[in-house]
Chain A
Amino acid sequence: MPFLVESIWVFWPALQGFWFSLTRWDGMSAPSFVGADNYVELAGDATFRGALLNTVIWLVLFGGLSVLGGFGMALVLLKERRGVGFYRAALFTPVVFSLVVTALVWRVFYQPDGIADTLLRAVGLEHLIRPWLADPQTALYAVILPALWRQIGYVMVLFLAGLKAIDPALHEAARMDGANSWQRLRHVTIPQLKGVNAVVLSVIVIDSLRSFDIVWSMTRGGPYHSSELLSTYMYSTAFQSLRLGYASAIAVVIFVLALAVILGYLVRAFREEAS
Chain B
Amino acid sequence: MNKLRTGAFHTGMILLSLLWLGPVLWVVVMSTRSFDDIAAHGVGSLPRSFTLDTYRQAWTDGGELRALINSMLVTVPSVLLSLGLAAMAAFALSRFRIPGRRTILLLMLAGNLLPPQILLIPVAKFSELTGLYDTLWALIAVQVGFGLGFYTFVLHGFMRDLPGEIQEAATIDGAGTAQIFTRVMLPLTRPALAALGALSFTWIFNDLLWAITVLRTDDNMPVTPALLALQGQFVSSWNVIAAGTVIAAVPTVAVFLRFQRHFVSGLALGAVK
Which residues of chain A have a CB within 8 Å of any CB of chain B?
Answer: 1-3, 5-6, 8-14, 16-18, 20, 27, 76-77, 83, 86-87, 90-94, 96-101, 104-106, 108-109, 111, 113-115, 117-118, 149, 153-154, 157-158, 160-162, 165, 195-196, 199-200, 202-203, 206, 209-210, 212-213, 216-217, 230-231, 234-235, 238-239, 244, 247-248, 250-252, 254-255, 258, 261-262, 265-266, 269-270, 272-274
Q: Check B238–A111 contact: CB distance below 8 A.
A: yes
Q: Check if A105 sits within 8 Å of B23, measured CB to CB.
A: yes
Q: Could you tell me if B114 and A109 are in contact, using CB atoms closer than 8 angstroms?
A: no
Give the complex CA separation of A1 and B26 in angstroms: 48
Q: Is the CB of B108 within 8 A of A234?
A: no
Kindly state the separation between the CA atoms of A254 and B126 in the bound complex, as whole angstroms.
21
Docked-complex contact A270 and B102, CB < 8 angstroms: yes
B109 CB → nearest A CB, Å: 6
Instruction: Report the minimum CB–CB distance from A16 to chain B (whole Å).
Output: 4
- Is B178 positioned at the interface, with any CB of A under 8 Å from its CB? no
Nearest first, the 6 A-B pairs at minimum CB distance are: A9-B145, A98-B206, A161-B268, A13-B122, A118-B44, A113-B42
30 A-B residue contacts at CB 8 Å?
A1-B85, A3-B108, A6-B108, A6-B111, A6-B145, A6-B148, A6-B149, A11-B107, A12-B122, A14-B122, A17-B122, A86-B17, A93-B253, A96-B255, A98-B206, A99-B208, A100-B248, A105-B23, A114-B43, A118-B42, A157-B268, A161-B268, A212-B117, A212-B208, A238-B121, A247-B120, A254-B115, A269-B106, A272-B273, A273-B102
A196–B206 touching, CB < 8 Å: no
Check: B167 CB closer than 8 A to any chain A CB. no
Please indicate the chain A residues that have their CB under 8 angstroms from the CB of B88 in the complex.
1-2
> Complex formed: what's the CA distance from A200 to B270 in Å?
10
Q: What residues on B are CB-neighbors of A83 within 8 Å?
A: 10, 13
Please report the C-alpha to C-alpha distance between residue A251 and residue B122 in the assembled complex, in whole angstroms.
11
A-B contact count (CB 8 A): 261
Q: A87-B17, A161-B272, A251-B121 are in contact. Are A98 and B224 (CB under 8 A)?
A: yes
Residues of A within 8 A of B242 (CB): 104, 108
Given A108-B26, A212-B209: A10 and B44 interface contact (C-beta under 8 Å): no
B129 shortest CB reach to chain A, Å: 11
Which chain A residues border B44 with CB–CB below 8 Å?
A: 111, 113-115, 117-118
Which of A27, A202, A235 is within 8 Å of B120, CB to CB?
A: A235
The residues of A that contact B30 with a CB separation of less than 8 Å are 108
A3 CA / B107 CA spacing, docked (Å): 9
Per the 8 Å Cβ criterion, residues 144-178 of B in contact with A are 144-146, 148-149, 152-153
A contact face: mostly helix, strand, loop, or mixed: helix
Q: Cβ of B136 < 8 Å from any Cβ of A?
A: no
B142 contacts partner chain A, Cβ-Cβ < 8 Å: yes
Query: Which residue of chain B lies nearest to A164 when distances are taken between CB atoms in the complex?
Result: B268
Interface hub of B20, B111, B213, B241 (most chain A Cβ within 10 A): B20
Quick check: A258 and B113 within 8 Å, CB to CB?
yes
B227 within 8 A of A: yes
Do A161 and B271 have beta carbons less than 8 Å apart?
A: yes
Query: Are B248 and A101 within 8 A (Cβ)?
Result: yes
Known contacts: A97-B206, A158-B267, A270-B106. The answer to whether A238 contacts B148 by CB under 8 A is no
Residues of B within 8 A of A90 (CB): 16-17, 20-21
The reply to whether B89 and A2 contact each other, CB–CB distance below 8 Å, is: yes
Chain B residues, CB < 8 A from A272: 273
Given contacts A87-B16, A113-B42, A117-B44, contact A3 B104 (CB under 8 A): yes
B252 beta carbon closer than 8 Å to chain A: yes
Q: B198-212 CB contact bits vs A (8 Å, 1 = yes)? A: 000010011111001
Closest residue on chain B to residue A8 by CB atoms: B145
State A258–B107 Cα separation when bound (angstroms). 16
- Does B237 sit within 8 A of A, measured CB to CB? no
CA distance A9 to B116 in the complex (A): 11
**What separation, in Å, do the CA atoms of A246 and B34 have in the docked complex?**
47
B160 CB to closest chain A CB (Å) equals 9
Q: Known pairs A157-B267, A269-B109. 10 more at Cβ < 8 A?
A: A9-B123, A10-B112, A90-B20, A100-B225, A108-B242, A160-B268, A213-B224, A217-B228, A239-B213, A258-B114
Query: In the assembly, what is the distance between CA of A109 and CA of B149, in Å?
Result: 38
Among A17, A202, A230, which residue has its beta carbon within 8 angstroms of that of B121? A17
Interchain CA distance A91-B231 in the complex, whole Å: 27
A-contacting residues, B97-137, CB 8 Å: 102, 104-126
CA distance A232 to B21 in the complex (A): 29
- Of A94, A250, A272, chain B has the most CB atoms within 10 Å of the CB of A94
Assuming A9-B141, A13-B126, A17-B121, is B85 touching A105 (CB within 8 A)?
no
Q: Which residue of A lies closest to B86 (CB)?
A: A2
* Residues in A whose Cβ lies below 8 Å from that of B268: 157-158, 160-161
Q: Mark B227-252, 1 if CB is under 8 A from A, else 0.
A: 11001000000100110010011001
